[in-house]
Amino acid sequence: MNSMNHDQDIYTSIDALRRLQFKARGFSLVAEQPINSILSGKNASKLRGRGLNFEEMRQYQVGDDIRTMDWKVTMRTKKPHVKVYSEERERNVILLVDQRQSMFFGSKGKTKSVIAAEIAALMAWQVVASTDRIGAVVFNDNHVTHIAPKRSQNQVVKVIGEICRYNHKLTSGASQPEHHVSFENMFAQVMRIIGHDALLIMISDGYGWSDKCGEYVKRISQHNDIMLCHVTDPLERQLIAMSQMVVSDGDMQIELTTKKEVLQQRFSHDVENAIAKFLSVAHKYRMPMIAFDTLLPTDKQVRKAFGVVRA
């Protein structure tokens, strides 16, 4: 990781994420979106919105949707009847926040792990402001923590506190298992706690995506919405072609060479496939995917993705 002038570019803090409450404006996660939003009807990917509660059975009236007709009651009473539903007032929104070692990278801006934390905080503050419930699954290379959805500002503080705890565990040069193991463990945990009609927002660089992850997503997306926030650093693609580089954590620096063909091929494979697999999964299961980088302000990237541009 390149040298950075400010600690907050490498790690985040609860105070920094709390202050994002005042920037969590100008966007929403409801199904109805501005025309330029990635979630709008003009896109193939679209959120289904909150679930529906059954309210009553009544006789058909002109203008009722025929798809709500209850044919059993209609046949029994000899009069057309429809089921009336109302939209649930609250929805569970669950953040899947990646704080693995692969996220501890940044060239000129912030680390991917900090950007992921900021995206999560912005989403969390917006969710509680819109009366939905916020929860989280925070994971690194070895651990997964689940926070059950609730609706309160204290809940947001709890979520961002857990993200910060994971964020500050990241250190340069730490050993890590195979990327796909941590991803699969995270999804296994999600499968144990997920219900239906929830919105899952996965914030990750996508490294280690496996076929098993795809199977988990297929099952989860049958009854829930999933949105992908893909975080990358512009330098990652450039590193593939570089034969020599100097990296630093701000205190120490070392010189690396990628001339070894195996190392270069492995890095190239990881970067390119992470992007390709995320795109493929998003397209296959009609999931919105928002691309984030480590250079631009996170709140501006969020508003741009949702069709709202504000200085």
Sign of CA dihedral 231, 167, 93, 281: positive
Check residues 58 and 293 and name the one with the higher pLDDT: 293
pLDDT in tens, 170-212: 987 665 666 678 899 999 999 999 988 899 999 999 888 888 9
Mean pLDDT of 64-93: 77
Contacts of 141 (CB under 8 A, 6+ apart): 100, 101, 176, 177, 181, 182
Q: Can you give the pTM of this predicted structure?
A: 0.76
SS3 state of residue 236: helix
Taking each helix axis from N to C end, the angle separating 234-241 and 261-284, rounded to the nearest 10 degrees, works out to 140
Residue 242 has pLDDT above 70, yes or no: no
Q: What angle, 0 to 180 degrees and rounded to 10, lies between the N-to-C axes of helices 298-305 and 112-129?
A: 60
Q: Can you give the pLDDT at residue 299?
A: 94
Chain centroid to CA 191 = 16
Nearest by Cα to 14 from 171, 150, 120: 120
Q: What is the DSSP string of 245-271?
A: EEEE-SS-EEEEE--SHHHHHHHHHHH
Amino acid 257: pLDDT: 53
Helix (H) or strand (E) holding 12: none
